[in-house]
Amino acid sequence: MSDAPLLVARDEGIVTLTVNRPKALNALNRAVLEALRAEVATLAADRAVRAVILTGAGEKSFVAGADIAVMSEMGPREALDFAELGHATLDALSALPMPVIAAVNGFCLGGGCELSLACDLVYAADNAKFGQPEVKLGLIPGFGGTQRLARRVGPMRAADLVLSGRMIGADEAKAIGLCVEVFPRGELMGQVVERARTIAAMGPVAVRAAKAVQARGVEAPLATANAFEREAFAGLFATHDAKEGMGAFLARRDAAFEDR
């Protein structure tokens, strides 16, 4: 296997990004974050990409956290720089126009949990473990965990995890909304790829619009968010893909979307 910090594989519009530090349980260091940020910038401009899958190398870990050995040598200024890099990387990942799917294949702790929170969909193997254990180190989450976690599972459940530092299994993670579904470890990637293929087969203009409207409206008042939806819905009627999709439905045939 390559020693690159991030592996990139492409297959018919689906890009798989694999954090590649299995000996360190895929802990996030500057090299991983910079590689991920650079690849995300490339993907953002690639209209041929329909979905992105994010996972970790090896059988034990998605991402077990940020690299504590590196952080232990930091002072406040270096820590702020590291946190800013983490935020910028995860913000860019979250802002990708196409859906991003996390395939959590083991430990998903600290920075790894924060990484999953920047994804649109999260699926987990039955051996997955989630948590924000930073308080056990005398720290708090630094890559958005105090904020994104509350927005995903609610403020009180987020407080339970962040303040206790406790680790939870895949089934509890599913129950509180940290992941959509749990699969046997050996089936995880196959299941995630199938879901990515399902998304890739949909109208790409519509998929991007749906993601954008959801992201834009989630923190807006409901009336404002519904206005965003109405505008996007109406705008799609000017696209080739909407005409093709409705025409195909009426003709009882598969749609041939052209991303326009």
pLDDT at residue 94 tops 90: yes
Query: For residue 76, what are its two tokens?
Result: 């406040």
Residue of 73, 114, 244, 258 marked active site: 114
| 152 Cβ neighbours under 8 A, 6+ residues apart | 117, 158, 177, 178
Please report which residue ranges of the chain form alpha helices under DSSP H.
30-44, 68-71, 76-94, 111-117, 145-153, 155-164, 170-176, 188-200, 204-217, 222-236, 240-251
134 belongs to the catalytic site: yes
Other Cβ atoms closer than 10 A to 130: 28
Residue of 134, 172, 244, 258 marked active site: 134
114 belongs to the catalytic site: yes
At 17 the pLDDT is: 98
Domains delineated in the chain: 6-200 (3.90.226.10), 204-251 (1.10.12.10)
pLDDT digits (tens, 9 = 90+) for 109-168: 999 999 999 999 999 999 999 999 999 999 999 999 999 999 999 999 999 999 999 999
pLDDT at residue 1 tops 70: no
pLDDT digits (tens, 9 = 90+) for 67-93: 999 999 999 999 999 999 999 999 999
At 2 the pLDDT is: 82
Query: For residue 201, what are its two tokens?
Result: 């087969």
How far, in Å, CA of 66 to CA of 111, rounded? Answer: 5
DSSP helix/strand/coil, 15: strand
pLDDT at residue 20 tops 80: yes
For residues 26 and 58, the answer to whether their CB atoms sit within 8 Å is: yes
